[in-house]
Structure 1
Amino acid sequence: MFLSIKLWCAFVALAVSHPASTQPKLYDILLNGMQIGELKVYTTTAKTGEIHYRADADASVWFFGRKNITMLISSVYKDKLMETASFHEKLNEKTQNLSLTNWDGNGYQVTLNDEKVALPARRITYSTAILYHREPKNVTELFSERFGKFCPIKPVGVGKYQLTMPDGKQNLYTYVNGVCEEVEVHTNLYRFRFKLRK
């Protein structure tokens, strides 16, 4: 998959311009009950009032050979409105998915693996990166940094929310006293659990 140098440089600039918190929340990544990796979740508030939400995942599985998976989700908000966002997924150090979203004053410009994606002309107030930081009470849809699209989310129990992705897969988020305790993530091959480390 070819990714332009311009898109890659824009991603790096976004990732390094907002340093992560020194005290992240840590989640164990589990597959069939076994820990295979770690998810780190950060929130940083800049002097300018921007809030940076970030999640870094690193996992390793065996499927016809060792598969090392890394993922970075990042979103920057100001006055409760998203300004920039990015998603970067790598498999064995090779980029699989890279997306960037930027507010230009009139609308969001989304680039997904070098392709432009059209978005409805409205501001984004909630995205997947925030799910690890704030319970989605009264939220019916959110923006996916990965897909560059809006996704429906609904409560399915006390503190439980089901997020339906554009590819039809459904992830389950569980909260206790407003804190994200566990996430079930479905992929083409696996069902992962992210469990908050106590």
Structure 2
Amino acid sequence: IKEIEVDYKYDVVFEDNLLKKASVIIGVDDKPYADIITNRTDQTYLITKNKKKESVIENAIHYATIVLYFKEPIGIDSCYSEQDGSFNTIVPLGNHVYKKINAKKHENVYYYEGGYLQKAEIDGGLIKFEIVAEN
């Protein structure tokens, strides 16, 4: 077993219920791993990964993955992944529990109470972990 340190820095801004910009910087063992930027320009979004133009998204983005940590996704069936510039599927499982399936088919499960996240089971590919809210 090898111990690694992974640092995530998210800076996500919504304005008038639309994603305005997102910046995700990931470091592994104090070394840069990924730098993903999403910027809204007029009616589209420009996605840049590691300083290279990756893609353009033409649809408005109203819900992003980071919001799952703060607000129950009632009536939401997809969310934008600030981490990789793709869209994830959200499946309601009942009883305020939701499954998020990302582009690599990894599944995370989110548990809410009173509209707030209580627990999340995260499949990060190489690692799996759980986040539990402190009361």
TM class by shorter-chain length? over 0.9
C-alpha distance in 2 between matches for 1:190 and 1:83: 30
Larger Rg: 1
Aligned residue pair count: 135
Looking at structure 1, the residues matched to 51 and 57 of structure 2 have their Cα atoms a distance apart, in angstroms, of 19
User: Aligned-pair distance for 1:77?
Assistant: 0.7
Q: Which one-letter code corresponds to 1:98 in the other structure? A: D
Runs (4 or more) in structure 1 with deviation over 3 Å come to none
Amino acid at match of 2:123: H
Kindly indicate which of the two structures has a greater share of residues assigned to helix: 1
Identity of aligned residues (%): 25
Within 5 Å, give how 1:1-198 maps onto structure 2: 63-64=1-2, 66-198=3-135
Compute the TM-score of the two structures, normalised by the length of structure 2: 0.93
Q: Given residue 67 of structure 1, which amino acid in structure 2 is its aligned partner? A: I
The answer to which structure has the higher strand fraction is 2
Determine helix, strand or coil for the equivalent of 2:58: coil
Distance 2:129 2:32 in 1: 20
Ranges in structure 1 where 5+ consecutive residues have no aligned partner: 1-62
**Structure 2 unaligned blocks of 5 or more:** none
TM-score, with structure 1 as normaliser: 0.65
Residues 86-132 of structure 1: CA distance to partner in whole angstroms, max 9, x if unpaired?
Answer: 11111111111210000011310110223323243111100011111
Paired residue type of 2:67: I
Partner deviation per Cα, 1:12-43 (whole Å, 9 max, x = no partner): xxxxxxxxxxxxxxxxxxxxxxxxxxxxxxxx
What SS does structure 2 have at the residue aligned with 1:129? helix
What are the Cα deviations for residues 127-168 of structure 1, in whole angstroms up to 9, with x where unaligned?
011111111000011100001011111101211111011111
CA-to-aligned-CA distance 1:171-194 (integer Å, 9 cap, x gap): 111101101011111123321001
The 8 Å contact of residues 155 and 162 in structure 1, kept in 2 or not, is answered as yes
Aligned partners of 2:43, 2:75: CA distance in 1, in Å?
A: 26
96-105 or 185-194, which deviates more:
185-194
Relative CO higher for 1 or 2, CA cutoff 8 Å, sep ≥ 6?
1
